[in-house]
Chains A and B, each alone.
Chain A
Amino acid sequence: MKSRSQSARIALYLKPLFMNELRVENLHVAIGDQQIVRGLSLAVPRGEVHAIMGPNGSGKSTLAKVMAGHPDYHVTKGKITMDGEDLLALEPDDRARKGLFLAFQYPSEIPGVTIANFLRAALAARLPEGEELEATDYYAKLYEKMELLGMDRSFTSRAVNEGFSGGEKKRTEILQLAMLEPKYGVLDETDSGLDIDALKTVAHGVNTLRGSNIGILLITHYQRILNYIVPDHVHVMVQGRIVRSGGKDLALELEERGYDWARAGADEPVLTR
C-alpha cells in the first residue's frame, strides 16, 4: 500500500503547474492485445531532468516509443501532451519538428546516408519553406558538438549507425540531440552497452545540454548513469505504471533495496508473469 504522503507527492507532479511540460496522463498502451502500460502519469517540465527506472519488461521503452509515435503501439486510454498540445494526434515527424526527441535504445542503420547529410536533412526539415541551411554555420556547429562528445570529425562521412559499435551509436544519438535542440529529450537506455569512459563522455554531453530550455526524461535500468547525470526527480516504473517517485536519493535507495521493494509500494497487487 502506498502511504498518503507518497500519493500526495505523486499528485504534485501531475498538477498542471507548468504549461511548458511534457505530460502523460493515465496512459494505457497495448501491443496487440497485451497491455504494456496501464495508467501511467508523469510530467516533465522544461528545465528539469527526470529519470524513470524500472526492471526489464516494466514498459519503459514502450513509453518512450509511444511518446514518439511508433506505429506498432496503440494507446487505448489517456493523453500525452507537449506544452499543452495533444501529441497523440500528430505524426511522428510532426512531434519531432515540434520539439520532441527520442534517443533510441536500438538506433536504426541507414546505409549510404552519412551522418552529416542525415542531420542536415533533419535540420532542413525544420526550416520554413524556401529557407536553406547555411553550410558553413552547419558544419561549425556540427564540429563543435562532435568535439563535445569526443567524436572524430571523420565520423561525419560515415553512414548513420552502419557498422557502429554500441558506444558509437549512443554517442551519435546524443550528437543528434545536441544538433536538433529539442524542447524535450527522451533518452531510452542511453547508458546500456557503454563502458565507463563512454558513459562519462555521453553524460558530459547531456550535462552540457541541460538547462532551462530542455526537459529530459532519462529511462534506465541501472542507477549507474544517475551518478553522472544527476536527476531532479526519480520515478520507479513497474508493470506499466509509476509506483514510486522521489528525489535523486530514490535511485540510491532503489539500488540498495531492489525492485521488489519498489513493487511492494504499488497500490495494487502486482501480477507476476
Chain B
Amino acid sequence: MKTENKAVDIDRNRGDFAYPEVHIRDAGRGLSEKTIHYISDVKEDPDWVREFRLRGLKTFLEKPLPTHWASKDLEAIDFDKIRYYLAPGSGAKRSWEEVPEDIKRTFERLGIPEQERKFLAGVEAQFDSEAVYSNIKKAVGEQGVIFVGSTEGLKNHPEIFRKWFGKVIPIGDNKFSALNSAVFSGGSFIYVPPGVKVKHPLQAYFRINAESFGQFERTLIIADEGSEVTYMEGCTAPKFETVALHSAVVELVALKGAKLQYITVQNWSSNVFNLVTKRGLAHEDAEIKWIDCNIGSRLTMKYPGVVLKGRKARGEVLSIALANNGQHQDTGAKMIHAADETTSNIISKSISIGTGRATYRGLVHVPKHLKHCKNNTECDALLINSTSRTDTYPAITVRGTGNAVQHEASVSQVSSEQIFYMQQRGLTKAQAMSLSVNGFVNDLVRQFPMEYSVELKRLIELEMEGSVG
C-alpha cells in the first residue's frame, strides 16, 4: 500500500503584487518596424544599434517557432498582444534617496535586505525596462570595473561593447534571441579590466511590472585577461491575467585566464513564458560557470552554454529546476568543445511537483580532431507526486580518441516511508517534503553564495507548502 500525496493549489500570492505605475514611454502592443523605430528613437540608439534591431526583427519574423522539438505550448504566446517597450519616465538613478517611493516598496516586498545592499559591491536593479537605480561602490569603480545598464554601456563604452555584442549569441541563433535583438532594453553591461579580481558579487534584481509586458533584457559581461567576477541575477514577477513573456539574452566573454561566474535564481509567477538564451565564450585557460535555478513560470526554456574556444578552457553548468503544478521547466546545458584539453561539467537537478514537468536537454560536442577533452554530466530528477513528470534528452557527440565523457542520470521519488520516518520525528508532511527536497539539491546549493542558498531554501519551502494533502 502507498500513501497518496495529493497536490493542491499553491499559494503564490507572495510574488503576486503590483503597484500602480506611470509609463511615460510606451511602444504600444504588437511588433513591426514602427515599433523598432519607436524604441530606437526613445532610446536615442546609435545607427548601428537601430540596424541591429531591424535585422533582429526580420530574423524573428522569418524563423518558425521551434515546436518541432520544443513544447507546443509556445503557440499560446500571442506576439501581437505584447507590449515590447515601456519605460518609467525617470532615468537612471545614482543614489538610493532618488528612487521613487513605490519602487522602493516593491524592493521591500522582494526582500532585498538593507545589509545585503551594503554587502554587495554594486546594485543594478531593473524596474520594467530601464534601470532605475544603479550604484557602484567606489572600490569597484576605482578598479576600473564598468557596471552599467546595457543602454548606457553601448552609448558610453562602444569600443568594448560593440566588439563583443551579438558575437557570442548571434541574432539568428534562435527565434527568441532574434526577438531580443530587435527589442532589447535593460540588462547589464560589465567590463572587468585585466587582472582585476572583483571581491564581492555584482548583483541585479529584475522584475516585470506591467501587464502583457515582455521583458527583453540584454546582458553582456566581459572579463578581461586574468580577471575574476561573479554576477548574480534574481527575478520575481507579479501575476497577471494575460500572458507575460520574458526573453533575455546573456552573453559572457572570459578572456585568457579569466574566471566568470553567473548566478541566477528565478522565481516567476506561473503565467510567464521564460525563454532565455545564455552562452559564454571561454578563451585559453579561462573558466565560465553558470549557476542557474529556475522556479515557477509556465514554460521555461533555457540551456546555458559554454563555447570552450581556447586550450584548457573550463565550462560548468550547475542547475536546479523546480516544476510545480501546470509548469514546465525545459532546461539543460550546452558544452561546445573547440580546443584541446578543454573540460566541462554539467550537474542538473530537477524536482517535479503535482502535474509539474521537468525536462533536461543536454548538448555536449567534442569534435574528432581534439585531444584530451573531458566532460562529466550528471542529471538527477526527483518526482514528488504520481502525476509528476520528468524527461531527459542528452545529446552527446564525442568523437576522436583520447577524449573522455561520463554521463549519469537518476530518477528518484520521495518515498512514503521516508516521509513517515520524518513525521515520526515531529515534522509535518510539508516540512518533511521540503526537507527532503532541500536534501536532494543540497550538494549543489552548498556551492552557491550564502545569501542565495538561504533564499533558495526559502523558495523551496514556499513551493512545498501546498504540495501535500
- Listed in ascending order, the chain A residues whose CB lies under 8 Å from chain B are 31-32, 68-72, 91-93, 95-97, 101-102, 104, 107-113, 117-119, 121-122, 125-126, 159, 176, 180
B440 adjacent to A118 (CB under 8 Å): no
A121 contacts B443, CB within 8 Å? no
Name the distance in Å between A185's Cβ and chain B's nearest Cβ. 12
Known A-B contacts A110-B439, A111-B439; A180 and B425 likewise in contact (beta carbons under 8 Å): yes
B residues in contact with A110, CB < 8 Å: 418, 421-422, 435-436, 439
B74 within 8 A of A: no
The reply to whether A180 and B424 form a contact with Cβ atoms under 8 Å apart is no
Q: Please tell me if the beta carbons of A121 and B418 are within 8 angstroms of each other in the complex.
A: no
Residues of A near B421 (CB, < 8 A) are: 104, 107-108, 110
A180 CA to B423 CA, complexed, in Å: 13
Given A31-B1, A110-B418, A110-B439 in contact, is the A96-B424 Cβ separation under 8 Å? yes
Among all A-B residue pairs, the 9 with the closest Cβ atoms: A112-B439, A112-B442, A113-B439, A108-B421, A92-B423, A122-B425, A96-B426, A93-B423, A125-B426
Known: A71-B416, A107-B421, A112-B443. A93 touches B429 (CB 8 A): yes
A111 nearest CB neighbor, chain B only: B439
Contact B435 A113 (CB under 8 A): yes
Q: Could you give, for residues 435-467 of chain B, a 1 whenever the CB lies within 8 Å of some chain A CB and a 0 otherwise?
A: 110111111000000000000000000000000
Report chain A residues within 8 Å CB of B441: 112
Q: Which residue of B lies closest to A122 (CB)?
A: B425
Kindly list chain B residues whose C-beta atoms are within 8 Å of the C-beta of A70.
420
Most buried by A among B426, B431, B432, B440: B426
Separation of A133 and B420 alpha carbons in the complex (Å): 24
Interface centre among A70, A93, A126 (most CB of B within 10 A): A93
User: Can you offer 8 A-B residue contacts whose CB atoms are under 8 A?
Assistant: A68-B424, A71-B420, A93-B426, A107-B421, A113-B439, A125-B425, A125-B427, A125-B431
**In the complex, which of the residues B1, B3, B442 contacts A113, with contact meaning CB atoms closer than 8 Å?**
B442
Complex contacts, A107 vs chain B, CB 8 Å? 421
Given contacts A72-B1, A121-B435, A180-B425, contact A112 B420 (CB under 8 A): no
Smallest CB gap from B427: residue in A: A125
Q: State whether A93 touches B436 (Cβ < 8 A).
A: no
Query: What is the bound-complex CA distance between A262 and B307, given in angstroms?
Result: 75
Q: A72-B1, A92-B420, A113-B442 are in contact. Are A108 and B426 (CB under 8 A)?
A: no
What chain B residues lie within 8 Å of A119 (beta carbons)? Answer: 425
Which residue of chain A is the closest to B434 with respect to CB atoms?
A: A121
Complex alpha-carbon distance, A107 and B425, angstroms: 12
Q: Is the CB of B435 within 8 A of A102?
A: no
Minimum CB–CB distance for A129 against chain B, Å: 13
A32 touches B424 (CB 8 A): no
The reply on B135 being an interface residue by CB < 8 A is no
Q: Which residues of the other chain, A, contact B3 by a CB distance below 8 angstroms?
A: 71-72
Closest Cβ neighbor of A31 among chain B residues: B1
Cβ of B435 and Cβ of A125 under 8 Å apart?
no
Which single member of B1, B420, B429, B435 contacts A118 (CB below 8 Å)? B435
Q: Which residues of B contact A108 (CB under 8 A)?
A: 415, 417-418, 420-422
Rounded to whole Å, the gap between the CB of A175 and the closest CB of chain B is 12
A119 to B418, CA, bound (A): 15
- Residues of B with C-beta under 8 A to A180: 425-426
